[in-house]
Amino acid sequence: MSDVQRPGVRAPDLHRSDGHDVQRVQHAEGLLRAFNQAGVLAAADVHVAMRLGRLGSERDDLVLLGAALTVRALRNGSVCLDIATAQLTTAVEDVDASELAGLGWPEPVTWAATLTTSPLVAVGVDGDPSRPLRLVGTLLYLDRYWRQEQRIADALDEAAARPTPVVDVERLPAALTRLFPGDEPDRQRLAAVVTAHRWVSVLAGGPGTGKTTTVAKLLALLQDQADGALRVALAAPSAVAAARLTFAARAVAEGFDEEDRARLGSLEASTLHRLLGRRPGSRTRFRHDRENRLAVDVVVVDEASMVSLTMMARLVDALRPGCRLILVGDPDQLASVEAGAVLGDLVQRDAEARPSVALRDLVPVDVADLDVEERTGLDRGVVRLSQVHRFSAEIQSFAEAVRTGDPDRLAAVLAERHPSIEFVDTDPAAAGDLAGLRDDVVTAGVAVHTAALAGDGATALRELAAHRLLCAHAGGPYGVAHWNQRAEDWLRGAVGGYAAGGRWYVGRPLLLTSNDYQLRLFNGDTGVVVDVDGNPRAAFVRNGVVELFAPGRLSDVQTVHAMSVHRSQGSQFERVTLVLPPAGSPLLTRELLYTGLTRAKTHVRIIGTREALLAAVRRPIVRASGLRLRR
């Protein structure tokens, strides 16, 4: 089968760390050349489109441009290209809006008409499956991604059409009272009730809202209903997230009575790849699929906002009819680095959903204070936790202003000048003496170094979480590498001989960037080098216990005074400094700002221009998708 016949051609991931690939394709012609020269299309986008054109004998400029922009959309996280809004939603760093407008964008009606006549394009849901592109309405897909999106939508529709799960309504109130004590209106209790009555449910909420606590309790409630007979799988998109889920869920379960603990059994989370059974040599094919379903009754996926469209499609393929799927995460934080924002799509999905149960008639759950959006969410199985237990009310108010895209509320919060929120209005690349940041870096670094010299790994790791620098970019003056070096320079000036002991110097903060299943250390784990009888040892926490490793056993390690906002997801630090890129950076979004500032428990400092801050608040990530649309 030729590439043009395959349901989708995989786009190479060739974009630079700052999100802008300026490589020019000299032999490109027509619109491809113009859009490439202007910096809209990367070389990878152009090459894929030209290859499709050659294989399918297609030379029409509008079709080739559509193919290239669809590949670009995938690189930027969208599932498809909406040709009706393509011009309005395309933004490129350092490219003026007037220059973009002058590129000769096709008129959408003409564009759609041309696409429908192309041998490369299947039209509608029943179009020829051998064609690499598919046009559904105004949405243009690589066909493989349309199929994945359709599979998820079909799974949701199939689950909604099944009879409601059987619930012992006489037993349910007693379990709720036992597992969720207290008289206050409680979204956690509500989430457990909704989950009991739904095949697919979403537990949404920001950091510190008790999502993991709720997961353990609602699983105990489901097992109470089934007398412990349910087979449960806990999963997360990354190994470090799976380890956090395991540790946190077990800690909550320790507080249950003996019968609930016995019914719940051992809680052990795995990565989604491990749950599905990775096939050697393939990133997207698994042992468990539609022909070999998972032998489980409940699947819980934590950090679901980071699950890509492809992985979610593979997961729903592997679920047996009658298996509950519970998605847990924060739909407002950064989504998967791959295409898709499935959790956000499901929270906002405009699908007709019939109420499963009259909740107030069955159980003692107060729903009187739910607003219209929350009540609509209940019909889709979505419950959003909102009561924050982790950080200050001021940081919560700041985060809520960002989450809702409210610059006036944000300005009002900043005007209060609360000690827990600090805004340094300056260009980070040109900033001179950042005394507050330097003090935080030096205070935390000295504490880590002192504990590490004493061989006290537990204290060193605790002090490592006292402050963290977060960046949007990997390279350049706003990036992780630059700020890592700047932090180390400050520490060299404050501590005699700091970092003088070679690569594994005592006090070096570590970030793992790959998984080591033999050591049970995972991509995203942080550690610190400590002195043990004159020898350097790397201290990491595994299952709540500090363990020491010879540095030579570690691979793919970076210094972590600073880290990317993406890598910080799931982590919490006492104090956080967030370095904003310029307002024109395509990485600067509302979700990035929200994710970064909600890593802080007691203090958040934002360094960036006011223009950049307001640009982030006003610029939500727009990932084109058909999943949230009515079907």
Which residues share a beta bridge with 384?
204
pLDDT exceeds 70 at position 215: yes
Q: What is the pLDDT of residue 377?
A: 76
pLDDT exceeds 70 at position 192: yes
Using the Cα atoms of residue 209, residue 176, residue 266 and residue 383 in order, give the sign of their dihedral: negative
* Reported confidence tier of residue 21, pLDDT bands at 50, 70, 90: very low
Compute CA 85 distance to the chain's CA centroid, rounded to the nearest angstrom.
Answer: 25
Quote the CA–CA distance of 168 and 151 in Å, as a whole number.
32
Nearest by Cα to 323 from 162, 148, 150 = 162
382-400 pLDDT, tens digit each: 888 877 766 678 888 898 8
Q: What is the pLDDT of residue 233?
A: 96
Q: What is the pLDDT of residue 353?
A: 47
HEC profile of 163-179:
CCCCCCCCCHHHHHHHH
pLDDT exceeds 80 at position 4: no
* Reported confidence tier of residue 366, pLDDT bands at 50, 70, 90: low
Q: What is the pLDDT of residue 93?
A: 59
pLDDT exceeds 70 at position 41: yes
DSSP per residue, 11-23: PP----TTS----
Q: What is the pLDDT of residue 12?
A: 37
* Structure token pair of residue 499: 């970092």
Q: What is the pLDDT of residue 182?
A: 75
Residue 341 to residues 307, 459, 614, 623, Cα–Cα distance (Å): 8, 38, 23, 7
Quote the CA–CA distance of 411 and 491 in Å, as a whole number.
34
522-562 pLDDT, tens digit each: 888 899 999 999 999 999 987 778 999 999 899 889 999 99
Write the CB contacts of 432 (distance below 8 Å, at least 6 apart in sequence).
none
Is residue 422 within 8 A of residue 436, CB to CB? The reply is yes
User: What mean pLDDT is reported for the chain?
Assistant: 86
* Reported confidence tier of residue 588, pLDDT bands at 50, 70, 90: confident
462-491 pLDDT, tens digit each: 999 999 999 998 888 999 999 999 999 999
**Given the structure tokens 């202003």, which residue do they identify?**
401
Quote the CA–CA distance of 219 and 268 in Å, as a whole number.
13
* Structure token pair of residue 235: 């999963």
pLDDT exceeds 50 at position 2: no
3-class secondary structure, 230: coil
User: Quick one: average pLDDT of 171-190?
Assistant: 82
The count of other CB atoms within 10 Å of the CB of residue 381 is 25
Q: Report the range of poorest mean pLDDT among 44-53, 322-331, 443-452, 511-520.
A: 511-520
Q: Crossing angle, helix 172-179 and helix 211-226, to 10 degrees? A: 150
Q: What is the pLDDT of residue 368?
A: 61
**251 burial level (CB within 10 Å; 0-12, 13-18, 19+):** middle
DSSP H stretches of helix in 17-60: 30-37, 43-55
3-class secondary structure, 273: helix
Q: What is the pLDDT of residue 184?
A: 59
* Structure token pair of residue 430: 């040109």
Quote the CA–CA distance of 380 and 156 in Å, as a whole number.
10
* Structure token pair of residue 404: 């809702």
Is residue 45 within 8 A of residue 71, CB to CB? The reply is yes
3-class secondary structure, 121: strand
Helices (H) and strands (E) in the chain, counts: 25, 20
Per mean pLDDT, which of 202-206, 218-222, 246-250, 357-361 is the most reliable? 218-222
pLDDT exceeds 80 at position 506: yes
Q: What is the pLDDT of residue 350?
A: 58
Nearest by Cα to 502 from 525, 536, 534 = 536
> What predicted TM-score, i.e. pTM, was given to this entire model?
0.84
Quote the CA–CA distance of 341 and 325 in Å, as a whole number.
17
